[in-house]
Amino acid sequence: MSYQVLARKWRPHTFEDLVGQEHVVQALVNGLDQDRVHHAFLLTGTRGVGKTTIARILAKCLNCEQGVSSTPCGECGSCIDVDEGRFVDMLEIDAASKTKVDDTRELLETVQYTPSRGRYKVYIIDEVHMLSGHSFNALLKTLEEPPPHVKFILATTDPQKLPITILSRCLRFSLTRLLPDQISSHLDKILQTESIDAEASAVMRIARAADGSMRDGLSLLDQAIAFGGGSLKDSDVASMLGSIDHVHIAAIIDALSSADAGGLMKIVNDLVSQSRNLESVLDELAEAMHRISLIHAAPAFRDPERADWDALVERAQLISPEDAQLYYQIAINGRRDLGLAPDPRTGLEMTLLRMLAFRPAEPGTGSAPAPVAKSAAAQDTGQPADEPEASAQATNRGLSSGRSEAVKAARAAFDQLHNAGDDGSPATPAAELPLEPDTASEQAGDKAAQDWASLQASLDLSGVTREFARNLQLEKRDEKRWRFLVPDALEQLGSQSVIRSLQSALSTHLGHEVTLDLHTEARPLESVAAVTERAELSRMSEAERAIDDDTTVKEIKEKFGAKIVPDSIQPLQ
């Protein structure tokens, strides 16, 4: 007897045998048991999720010699013929090869005839979206009002291509992609029945490679059994699929944590020499970063299905929560753009290098600080970043001077237009009125807050660590212990990596080790960010008041009906 592939041998014959799709099964079972069966069904979903299988089970339920029910006997002649695909009143049509309108008309000519053997004539049209427009028009009237002895079951992987007139006449069921756990569980049952030795990791690897399709999973299982000589080993399956081993992902994570670009390129070179699937590297890396984020967020959680969980727990200590999120985002974006790269290797290498390029610099690691860590004032004036106050003052003077000149020019132009004589001669400019708000007085905090405001600006901080430091209030300090208050709304910013970075930067600046003592506080704090925000609001209020009270502005409003554009006023620094 010839060998029968697993996908055909293990095709479900009842709704109970079906894996997944509970929402579809429940609706069909209730309809059959209550004798409320629609005349036309539309089954949608990706390949290999059970569309044709459900159609055949439904045909068997309708034509079982024991009566219509959701549990056909499976032993009568009708049930056996349906299972073997030779039931005379079940017509399976492949719309991909029967696209012409003449084919559809020929098919519909048989609809009027009563069943030869069964209770219903069941028409199963697979890939129905491949029919031509004329074929849909020919099918439309029959689909809307078929004879009582006819049932239509349409199946498609692309329902968007169906005319709305067809969709509105069918009872639609959307089949979902199967989860890897659902596929692996079914594969385990098959392997046990077939008495085939298999490693659990090999089965799970096949289930993930199936990408939600049970048929693909069974086909890969057939291939893996042949490749392994009758048994399944994870190493054999990985070699067959060209997938990435845990050791490769661990090596990539180690190289990322140590910013070793040369090591990353060597790993890619090894993968190419082993003919590994480079496109799956970013998938596996993104999945690893997902699990590392789980370890950060829920240290007590453990996935028993993951053989490499312990290895990732160790590497989670090397990757900060922020870096894990960054690497995950870059990996999935790089995977999406891989098809645009000149070749998969180039796309993979550039994605890995992008992870290093955008990784925030950590104080004390020897890495060059990120450009954003340098104050804007220092960049504009060319002064070093450890002189922020002088640098900022110089910049503010330049901004104030430039804006003052612009205001003077605008005022002069208005005066010339407003006071021009009838003969067109230029008029004498009106007296200049001060528009600049007074910014000399600002609310200051206590002595500790002032000290921290000047000190944190000189620390080598960037990104989340810098923002966290700006929201702290220094309560008290001694030589080795600094006590800070943290707003309870921003407590989540203070991760272990952020606190370590702040402590390292402060120790480096002071020249000796210090310990940070952080306490949450619900009341408003005198943090650098809070003081700066109040000062900005005060300057904005004064600037708006100065503009509103300016005589020239009032004249422009009255003479021309002008209005001040909201949010266009900017205070002079």
Please state, in angstroms and rounded to a whole number, the distance separating the CA atoms of residues 58 and 21: 14
168 and 196 inside one domain: no
Do the domain assignments include residue 525?
A: yes
Query: Side chain identity at 191, as an amino acid letter?
Result: L
148 and 22 inside one domain: yes
pLDDT exceeds cutoff 80 at 385: no
**Distance of CA 323 to CAs 259, 283, 292, 330, Å?**
12, 17, 10, 10
Contact between 397 and 390 under an 8 Å Cβ cutoff? The reply is no
Please state, in angstroms and rounded to a whole number, the distance separating the CA atoms of residues 103 and 138: 10
For the ranges 26-40, 317-331, 382-396, 555-569, the lowest mean pLDDT is seen at: 382-396
Taking residues 297-324, what's their average pLDDT?
Answer: 79
Taking residues 11-16, what's their average pLDDT?
Answer: 90
Phi, psi values for residue 396, rounded to 5°: -65, -40
CATH of the domain at 295: 1.20.272.10
90 and 208 inside one domain: no
CATH of the domain at 126: 3.40.50.300
Contact between 354 and 366 under an 8 Å Cβ cutoff? The reply is no
Domain that holds residue 33: 6-174
167 and 185 inside one domain: no
Question: Within 10 A of 570 (CB to CB), how many other CB atoms are there?
Answer: 11
Token pair 């067959």: residue: 240
Structure tokens at 250: 């661990």
**Can you give the pLDDT at residue 388?**
36
Structure tokens at 420: 């021009």
DSSP string, 255-283: HHHTT-HHHHHHHHHHHHHTT--THHHHH
β-strands 481-487, 473-477: how paired? antiparallel
pLDDT exceeds cutoff 70 at 100: yes
421 and 556 inside one domain: yes
Do the domain assignments include residue 144?
A: yes
Q: Which among 136, 153, 174 is the end of a domain? A: 174
β-strands 121-126, 40-44: how paired? unpaired
Contact between 167 and 43 under an 8 Å Cβ cutoff? The reply is no
Percent of the residues in the chain that have a pLDDT greater than 90, as a whole number: 18
**Can you give the pLDDT at residue 327?**
92
**Can you give the pLDDT at residue 492?**
64
Query: Side chain identity at 461, as an amino acid letter?
Result: L
* Helix, strand, or coil (residue 113): coil
3 Cβ partners below 8 Å, 6+ apart? none
45 and 90 inside one domain: yes
Beta bridge partner(s), residue 487: 521
Q: Report the Cα 557 to chain-centroid distance in Å.
A: 51
Please state, in angstroms and rounded to a whole number, the distance separating the CA atoms of residues 36 and 17: 23
pLDDT exceeds cutoff 80 at 376: no
Do the domain assignments include residue 17?
A: yes
Do the domain assignments include residue 527?
A: yes
Query: Side chain identity at 96, as an amino acid letter?
Result: A
CATH of the domain at 184: 1.10.8.60
Do the domain assignments include residue 376?
A: no
143 and 190 inside one domain: no
Domain count within the chain: 4
Contact between 415 and 429 under an 8 Å Cβ cutoff? The reply is yes
* pLDDT single digits (tens) 403-440: 444 444 445 544 544 444 444 444 433 333 334 433 43
Do the domain assignments include residue 373?
A: no
Taking residues 515-524, what's their average pLDDT?
Answer: 82
**Can you give the pLDDT at residue 29?**
92
Please state, in angstroms and rounded to a whole number, the distance separating the CA atoms of residues 374 and 387: 11
Structure tokens at 286: 């993104």
Q: Which among 192, 208, 241 is the end of a domain? A: 241
Structure tokens at 261: 């670009």
pLDDT exceeds cutoff 90 at 557: no
* pLDDT single digits (tens) 244-282: 777 888 889 988 888 889 999 999 998 888 878 888 889
Do the domain assignments include residue 526?
A: yes
**Can you give the pLDDT at residue 413?**
43
331 and 435 inside one domain: no
* pLDDT single digits (tens) 140-154: 888 888 888 999 999
Contact between 319 and 386 under an 8 Å Cβ cutoff? The reply is no
**Distance of CA 100 to CAs 103, 126, 270, 521, Å?**
5, 15, 52, 75
**Can you give the pLDDT at residue 520?**
81
326 and 233 inside one domain: no
Choice between 479 and 185, residue whose per-residue pLDDT is larger: 185
Percent of the residues in the chain that have a pLDDT greater than 70, as a whole number: 81
Q: Which among 117, 143, 174 is the end of a domain? A: 174
Contact between 11 and 48 under an 8 Å Cβ cutoff? The reply is no
Do the domain assignments include residue 388?
A: no
149 and 219 inside one domain: no
In total, the chain counts a number of residues equal to 573
* pLDDT single digits (tens) 163-190: 998 898 899 999 998 988 899 999 999 9
**Can you give the pLDDT at residue 221?**
92
501 and 563 inside one domain: yes
338 and 408 inside one domain: no
pTM, full prediction: 0.54
User: Average model confidence (pLDDT) for the chain?
Assistant: 78
